[in-house]
């Protein structure tokens, strides 16, 4: 009886300890979101998204340059990163049981741990120095390199989840292997791969460090790919460290919209995976 | 017993050993064609390995045209590997090897330059577990062999209806052809897989324990189907169930530990087994 009470108390203690730690973990997350909403929400209006920055001292104006720039950068990074990542993942899953596959897998795992600023320096030396200017392309490449390991590994993992019986079903119907991979394997894994891509994009969209010396930033609506472009994270950084009250307000609003953007991407990713829950057995 | 079997290796057999079993005589049954059936496929000294593990010890077996041939034997005796050699699906498994010859209409299907893709369109296959493509509709599942190969059938609607009719599934799904193939019940899924194979109008249909994942009612339906299809197609069916072999097949081969022990007309094999091991197996006295 005594023993039972002691075990019961241990159980209660452990449970409260877990709960306490969860609360501790949630506090910073919640307070960041709360702070961000309080300080940023006031700055969100139509002009913030559509107008260009005003000179210091004038009130109003927006961050159209940063939104457009971020869109360009994310678009470019998808254009570079998704084909390479998905096809690389297909290679790893379907043909990668050899030395090359192992090497590529290891490289991808190492790359996903490389600090993003290192990638920025790499792109700076390879692209920015040889082009002799900062550019949207350089920024897009830097983000693509950051996306690559995530996209490649999630593609591989998801294709491995596609049961072999489906591959055999395709082959047994006299469908060539490459068509089985495209029409059966990739198609079955597509929702999950889309999720992986969304998460990679969400991560890339919030990167600041690699953009500082690749896309650099711009206060003008630059739509040329070989010119520097603005981006949300860089704009937030520039505005936040400035001494102007008006810019601080806008930095908060930009930070809030960036978080919302990432949130939307994450939700989209979840919806995509949930939808077709049917898997072949 | 074991030592006796282990000594029965391929080396002791002449490579071109003539079949030791009784010649397939026409079976007294109403559906039998007046002429003796010709040999559609033939294996000669077929050996197969998974890595270093030899699972087929040199099997020579004829497969008669427009007849149902059943392969029986205990688990792991090489039945599935055998039929997977017939459509060259064995070789897609990493580390799998084979040796010997497989003839289809007297042509070696393993000859250099022979395309397994073309062979597999002539020799269709139905698997143990129903495996419809989960991303495709019922209709597209039936047409998968065409569409996924980048081919267009001349009249897809007729083809779908014909294949589903042959698979005895048309009446159950004709109003929901656009539903997902994975939404059907297990037995329906298996018949969908049969329809998918039949849509290519194969000459030979291989069935690897097609009923083992199905309930008795679905099994009865599929068996009836096999019986009917056996009049138009050459069928090879692997089964664990001797009753099933007795019900659906014209000829039965008993495989044991990678060897062909006995091959005969189904009636004869089940009533007058020539080999002691066959008798032990079919009477359930096995190990």
Say what percent of chain A tops pLDDT 90. 53
Going by pLDDT thresholds of 50, 70 and 90, the confidence category of residue B27 is: very low
Instruction: Work out how many domains chain B is built from and give that number.
Output: 1
Reply yes or no on whether the pLDDT at B26 is more than 60. no
- Tell me whether residue B21 is in a domain: no
Beta bridge partners of B235: B68, B205
pLDDT of residue A46: 86
CA distance B146 to B197: 10
Nearest residue to B223 via CA among B209, B203, B244, B204: B244
pLDDT of residue A124: 93
The H or E element containing residue B46 is: strand B39-50
Q: Are A262 and A205 in contact (CB under 8 A)?
A: yes
- Quote the radius of gyration of chain A (alpha carbons, Å): 23
- Tell me whether residue B32 is in a domain: no
Q: Which residues contact A95 (CB under 8 A, 6 or more apart)?
A: A101
The fold adopted by the segment(s) A67-227+267-274 is MetI-like fold (1.10.3720)
* Average pLDDT of the residues in B184-194: 92
The H or E element containing residue B53 is: strand B53-64
Indicate which of A159, A168, A169 best probes the interface with B, i.e. most B CBs within 10 Å of its own CB.
A169
Write the pLDDT tens digit of every residue in A144-201: 999 999 999 999 999 999 999 999 999 999 999 999 999 999 999 988 898 889 889 9
Going by pLDDT thresholds of 50, 70 and 90, the confidence category of residue A73 is: very high
**C-alpha dihedral, B149 to B153 to B158 to B164, nearest 10°:** -20
pLDDT of residue A219: 81
Please give the span between the terminal C-alpha atoms of chain A, in angstroms, as a whole number: 49
* Average pLDDT of the residues in B137-148: 93
Which two structure tokens, joined as six digits, stand for A41? 């929400």
Say what percent of chain B tops pLDDT 70. 87
Write the pLDDT tens digit of every residue in B66-83: 999 999 998 888 899 999
* Average pLDDT of the residues in B264-285: 90
Give CA separation, B173 vs A7, A39, A60, A89, A281, in Å.
58, 59, 63, 37, 21
pLDDT of residue B35: 61
Which of A165, A171, A188 has its CB closest to that of B129? A165
DSSP A229: B
Indicate which of A158, A163, A172 best probes the interface with B, i.e. most B CBs within 10 Å of its own CB.
A172
Write the pLDDT tens digit of every residue in B77-116: 889 999 999 999 999 888 899 999 999 998 898 988 888 8
Q: Are the beta carbons of B133 and A180 separated by less than 8 Å?
A: no
B180 and A CB contact within 8 Å: yes
Edge-to-edge strands, sheet with B204-208: B123-126, B204-208, B234-238, B68-72, B251-256, B259-265
* Average pLDDT of the residues in A12-22: 96
Indicate which of B131, B185, B190 best probes the interface with A, i.e. most A CBs within 10 Å of its own CB.
B131
Q: Are the beta carbons of A173 and B149 separated by less than 8 Å?
A: yes
pLDDT of residue A1: 63
Q: How far is A176 from chain B (nearest CA, A)?
A: 6
pLDDT of residue A275: 53
Going by pLDDT thresholds of 50, 70 and 90, the confidence category of residue B2 is: very low
CA distance B5 to B57: 11
Tell me the ipTM for this assembly: 0.81
Write the pLDDT tens digit of every residue in A206-240: 888 889 888 888 888 777 888 888 889 999 998 89
Reply yes or no on whether the pLDDT at B200 is more than 90. yes
3-class DSSP assignment, residue B23: coil
Q: What is the largest CA-CA distance in chain A?
A: 80
3-state SS of chain B is: CHHHHHCCCHHHCCCCCCCCCCCCCCCCCCCCCCCCCCEEEEEEEEEEEECCEEEEEEEEEEEECCCEEEEECCCCCCHHHHHHHHCCCHHHCCCEEEEEEEEECCEECCCCCCCHHHHHHHEEEECCCCCCCCCCEHHHHHCHHHHCCCCCCCCHHHHHHHHHHHCCCHHHHCCCCCCEHHHCCHHHHHHHHHHHHHCCCCCEEEEECCCCCCCHHHHHHHHHHHHHHCCCCEEEEECCCHHHHHHHCCEEEEEECCEEEEEEEHHHHHHCCCCHHHHHHHCCCCC
- Tell me whether residue B96 is in a domain: yes
Q: Are the beta carbons of A168 and B92 separated by less than 8 Å?
A: yes
CA distance B253 to B275: 12
CA distance B247 to A65: 76
Going by pLDDT thresholds of 50, 70 and 90, the confidence category of residue B12 is: very low
Residues of B in contact with A175 (CB under 8 A): 117, 144-145, 148-149
CA distance B199 to B221: 19
pLDDT of residue A145: 94
Q: Are B131 and A165 in contact (CB under 8 A)?
A: yes
Helices A64-95 and A99-111, interaxial angle, to 10°? Answer: 150
Domain harbouring B214, CATH code: 3.40.50.300
* Average pLDDT of the residues in B29-45: 72
With tokens 């260009």, the residue in question is: A52
Which two structure tokens, joined as six digits, stand for B240? 């664990």
CA atoms within 13 A on the CB side of A68: 19
Write the pLDDT tens digit of every residue in A43-61: 888 888 888 888 877 777 7
Q: How many CB atoms lie within 10 A of CB A75?
A: 13
* Average pLDDT of the residues in A79-107: 93
- Tell me whether residue B241 is in a domain: yes
Which of B130, B148, B183 has its CB closest to that of A184? B148
Q: Which residues contact A107 (CB under 8 A, 6 or more apart)?
A: none
Going by pLDDT thresholds of 50, 70 and 90, the confidence category of residue B212 is: confident
Mean pLDDT over all residues of chain B?
A: 85
Reply yes or no on whether the pLDDT at A246 is more than 60. yes
Which of A183, A279, A280 has its CB closest to that of B148? A183
* Average pLDDT of the residues in A15-36: 94
Q: Are the beta carbons of A165 and B134 separated by less than 8 Å?
A: no
Going by pLDDT thresholds of 50, 70 and 90, the confidence category of residue B199 is: very high
Reply yes or no on whether the pLDDT at A40 is more than 70. yes
With tokens 């339906």, the residue in question is: B221
CA distance A144 to A128: 15
The range of the structural domain enclosing residue B96 comes to: 2-10+39-129+203-282
Which two structure tokens, joined as six digits, stand for B14? 């002449």
Which of A172, A175, A180 has its CB closest to that of B125? A172
Strands B251-256, B68-72: pairing is parallel
Give A275 or B145, the one with higher predicted confidence.
B145
**Range with lowest mean pLDDT among A23-37, A90-104, A121-135, A265-279:** A265-279
Give contacts of A 148-167 with B, CB under 8 A: 163, 165-167
pLDDT of residue A224: 82
* Average pLDDT of the residues in B128-146: 93
Say what percent of chain B tops pLDDT 90. 56
CA distance A217 to A230: 4
Which chain A residue is nearest to residue B207, measuring alpha carbons? A172
Checking A45-49 for CB contacts under 8 A at 24+ apart, the result is A48/A250, A48/A253, A48/A257, A49/A257
Mean pLDDT over all residues of chain A?
A: 88
pLDDT of residue A53: 85
Q: How far is B53 from chain A (nearest CA, A)?
A: 21
Give B287 or B258, the one with higher predicted confidence.
B258
Reply yes or no on whether the pLDDT at A78 is more than 80. yes
Nearest residue to B191 via CA among B175, B159, B216, B214: B214
């Amino acid at each position: 009886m005594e023993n039972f009470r002691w075990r019961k108390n241990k159980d209660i203690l452990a449970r409260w300890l877990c709960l306490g730690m969860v609360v501790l973990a949630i506090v910073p997350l919640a307070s960041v979101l709360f702070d961000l909403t309080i300080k940023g929400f006031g700055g969100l209006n139509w002009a913030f998204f559509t107008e260009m920055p005003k000179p210091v001292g004038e009130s109003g104006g927006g961050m159209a340059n940063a939104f457009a720039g971020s869109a360009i950068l994310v678009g470019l990074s998808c254009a570079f990163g998704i084909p390479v990542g998905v096809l690389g993942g297909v290679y790893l899953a379907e043909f990668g049981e050899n030395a090359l596959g192992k090497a590529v897998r290891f490289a991808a795992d190492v790359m996903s741990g490389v600090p993003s600023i290192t990638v920025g320096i790499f792109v700076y030396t390879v692209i920015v120095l040889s082009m002799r200017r900062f550019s949207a392309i350089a920024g897009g490449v830097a983000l693509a390199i950051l996306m690559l390991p995530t996209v490649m590994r999630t593609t591989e993992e998801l294709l491995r989840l596609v049961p072999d019986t489906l591959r055999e079903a395709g082959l047994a119907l006299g469908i060539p292997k490459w068509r089985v991979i495209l029409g059966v394997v990739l198609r079955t894994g597509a929702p999950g791969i889309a999720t992986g891509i969304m998460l990679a994009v969400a991560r890339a969209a919030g990167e600041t460090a690699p953009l500082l010396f690749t896309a650099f930033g711009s206060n003008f609506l630059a739509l040329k790919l070989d010119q520097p472009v603005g981006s949300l994270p860089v704009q937030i950084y520039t505005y936040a460290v400035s001494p102007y009250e008006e810019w601080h307000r806008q930095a908060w609003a930009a930070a809030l919209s960036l978080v919302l953007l990432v949130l939307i991407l994450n939700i989209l990713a979840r919806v995509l995976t949930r939808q077709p829950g049917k898997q072949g057995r | 017993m074991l030592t006796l079997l282990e000594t029965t290796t391929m080396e002791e057999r002449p490579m071109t050993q003539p079949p030791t079993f009784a010649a397939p005589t026409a079976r007294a049954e109403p559906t039998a064609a007046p002429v003796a059936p010709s040999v559609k496929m033939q294996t000669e000294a077929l050996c197969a390995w998974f890595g270093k593990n030899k699972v087929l010890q040199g099997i020579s077996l004829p497969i008669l045209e427009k007849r149902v041939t059943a392969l029986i034997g205990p688990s792991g005796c090489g039945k599935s590997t055998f039929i997977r050699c017939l459509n060259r699906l064995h070789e897609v498994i990493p580390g799998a090897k084979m040796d010997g010859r497989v003839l289809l209409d007297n042509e070696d299907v393993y000859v250099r330059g022979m395309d397994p893709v073309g062979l597999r369109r002539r020799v269709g296959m139905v698997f143990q577990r129903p495996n419809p493509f989960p991303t495709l509709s019922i209709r597209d599942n039936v047409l998968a062999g065409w569409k996924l190969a980048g081919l267009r059938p001349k009249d897809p609607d007729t083809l779908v209806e014909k294949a589903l009719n042959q698979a005895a599934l048309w009446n159950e799904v004709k109003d929901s052809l656009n539903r997902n193939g994975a939404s059907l019940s297990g037995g329906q899924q298996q018949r969908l897989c049969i329809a998918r194979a039949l849509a290519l109008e194969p000459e030979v249909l291989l069935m690897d324990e097609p009923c083992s994942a199905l309930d008795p009612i679905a099994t009865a339906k599929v068996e009836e189907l096999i019986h009917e299809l056996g009049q138009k197609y050459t069928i090879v069916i692997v089964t664990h169930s001797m009753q099933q072999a007795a019900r659906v097949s014209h000829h039965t081969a008993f495989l044991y530990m990678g060897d062909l022990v006995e091959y005969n007309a189904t009636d004869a094999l089940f009533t007058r087994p020539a080999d002691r091991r066959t008798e032990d197996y079919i009477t359930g006295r096995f190990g």
